Structure 1
């Protein structure tokens, strides 16, 4: 079975639609769900529990467990809580990290699961994502960031759109459109909104690094994978809809800037692999621009 971990933050409406789409398209004997509620809005949290209770009554075979956190622990810690819930569940052999703003439009679990099981050189498998307008979400297939990518992401330079627009190299599908939707595509970074791991392998690499609150989680996973020699694969013939930024939009932009800034610094220090002057130099530039 697949253990599905869904994180909710003050968005019970999106979470309800996500859960309903899973129940509609997937067989209940293929999955268990752990919903981790990071909400700070008590009214929204109560509404989430009401929605889950309604689904349990309508679909009694759907296994939905809810973890209510006392505070917002962020993406990494929140998803780790859900993953840890499945640690000792012998029925669950794989973990699907699923954002609450994902809507399934076809059955994907079994085929994602089978591909991961049959390809031992694959560490993470993900589907193709579309946005709510029906266009391909190019963030679902990326290359790892290079030095230029980090520089143009500093808070000041990001305001200079003519520089920032040049930073397109990491989006694989922008440079290389999908020619054969039936052919698996090797990528570096999947979208953190929908990705499947073998449970035991995910445990061995330490799950998500708890030192980031939001952002750079996929980059850190890629860095961890470099020591294992395993790949990240996207299956374009499997897809779902990513409504996009439904939870992030609930927080002030300055808070998002701060989370992005600290996650970037942490990644550069601990995982970037840049040698010599570069880790220190880029961190210095990022800090300087952020203070400005």
Structure 2
């Protein structure tokens, strides 16, 4: 198959990233690269990863001076994979995921040759052996307009978030918020034109013919839904393919970067509102086209 580049987004937790990279090295064969994007880690782990892999020509570590968020962080790796490494396929992985199949490459190629899918999403096996629930369908635009209006009311955010954020790790809570209303009962059948899980997105040559990466206007939240709308707008196909599998070590996260609770609430509110606003904009544009 064409050259495949794995993009692994790293932040703070070096052991997770090392385990993810090790799983790729064990399960992958020829014609691949690993691009690690250090997303502004403040504990020096980006530099440690550079030193660790400096003698491996298949692994590149990119250091960002700031935390770019989910979309821009991945885009930094995607751009390098496409422009410098000339990769045809790009697989964006959370650093808390593990490859578990020896034929990962072959299954991607087989599906692409069959369907010309722009993006492919695998089955996600959780740490307890259960399967990640399947993403739900996109809701109507009025649902998101109401959600945005609610997010812009500070009092409502205090009621919702005080009990759910104050006593929890900040980024752990962010992860939960990203999943809220995103998943429904798992279905083990291959599906076309669905929202795929953001912890592993495989971009194919069909995607790069019309698009470059994830929408850079978001920091964290709703990236998968926005991508789905943009795929439809560009008449591109997404495929959920349960024959491709990865493991997702959910529940492991970093420490809070905002110590004051009001800072956490403001950050979450603004992050969610901006992402929902982008989603609404994309849906409106899709309707008018």
TM-score w.r.t. the length of structure 1 is 0.75
Q: Could you say what secondary structure the match of 1:196 adopts? A: strand
Shift of 1:196: 1.0
1:263 to 2:275 alignment: yes
Deviation at 1:251, TM superposition (A): 4.4
Q: How far apart are residue 49 of structure 1 and its match?
A: 2.8
Gaps of 5+ in 2: 164-178, 259-263
Question: Aligned partners of 1:90, 1:84: CA distance in 2, in Å?
Answer: 9
CA 1:88/1:22 → structure 2, altered by over 3 Å: closer, same or farther?
A: same
SS at match of 2:224: helix
Q: Aligned partners of 2:85 and 2:15: how far apart in 1?
A: 32
Which residue number in structure 2 is paired with residue 33 of structure 1? 34
Q: CA deviation at 1:235?
A: 1.2
- Asked if the contact 1:142/1:190 (under 8 Å) is kept, the reply is no
Question: Residues 15 and 159 from structure 1, CA distance in 2 versus in 1: closer, same or farther, beyond 3 angstroms?
Answer: same
Report what 2:191 is aligned to. 185
Partners of 1:248 and 1:142 in 2: how far apart?
A: 27
Aligned residue for 1:226, secondary structure, equals helix
Could you tell me how far apart the structure 1 residues matched to 2:91 and 2:52 are? Answer: 21
Contact kept in structure 1, 2:194 and 2:240, CA below 8 Å: no
Q: Describe the SS at the equivalent of 1:190.
A: coil
Q: What secondary structure, in the 3-state scheme, does the structure 2 residue paired with 1:41 have?
A: coil
Query: Partners of 1:13 and 1:67 in 2: how far apart?
Result: 17
Q: Which residue of 1 aligns with 2:208?
A: 202
| Pairwise CA distance, 1:6 | 1.2
Provide Cα deviations, 1:21-65, integer angstroms capped at 9, x if missing partner: 1111111x1311111111331333333334434xx5xxx5x6011
- Cα distance in 2 for partners of 1:87, 1:240 equals 23
| 1:159 matched to 2:171 | no
Q: Which moved more, 1:82-91 or 1:150-159?
A: 150-159
Deviation of residue 132 (structure 1)? 1.5
- Structure-2 change in CA distance of 1:259 and 1:250 (3 Å): same
Q: Deviations over 1:122-147 (max 9, x none)?
A: 22111100222222111x53311334
Listed as ranges, the gaps of 5+ residues in structure 1 are 162-166, 277-292
CA distance in 2, matches of 1:85, 1:124: 18
Question: Corresponding residue for 2:223?
Answer: 217
Encode CA deviations 1:162-212: one digit per residue, 9 max, x unaligned: xxxxx997634x1xx43xx4x422252101111111246236224212111
Of the candidates 107, 112, 115, which is equivalent to residue 119 of structure 1?
115
Partner of 1:128: 123
Measured in 2, the distance between the counterparts of 1:169 and 1:41 equals 32
- 1:101/1:243 contact within 8 Å kept: yes
- Aligned pairs (5 A) from 1:65-144: 65-89=60-84, 92-107=87-102, 108-120=104-116, 122-138=117-133, 140-144=134-138
Q: Across the two proteins, how many residue pairs are aligned to each other?
A: 255
**Which residue of structure 1 lines up, in the alignment, with residue 244 of structure 2?**
238
User: Deviations for 1:52-88, whole angstroms, at most 9, x for unmatched residues?
Assistant: 34xx5xxx5x601111111111111111111111223
Indicate how the Cα distance of structure 1 residues 237 and 201 shifts in structure 2: closer, same or farther if over 3 A, else same: closer
Give the direction of change, closer, same or farther, for the CA distance of 1:49–1:91 in structure 2 (3 Å limit).
closer
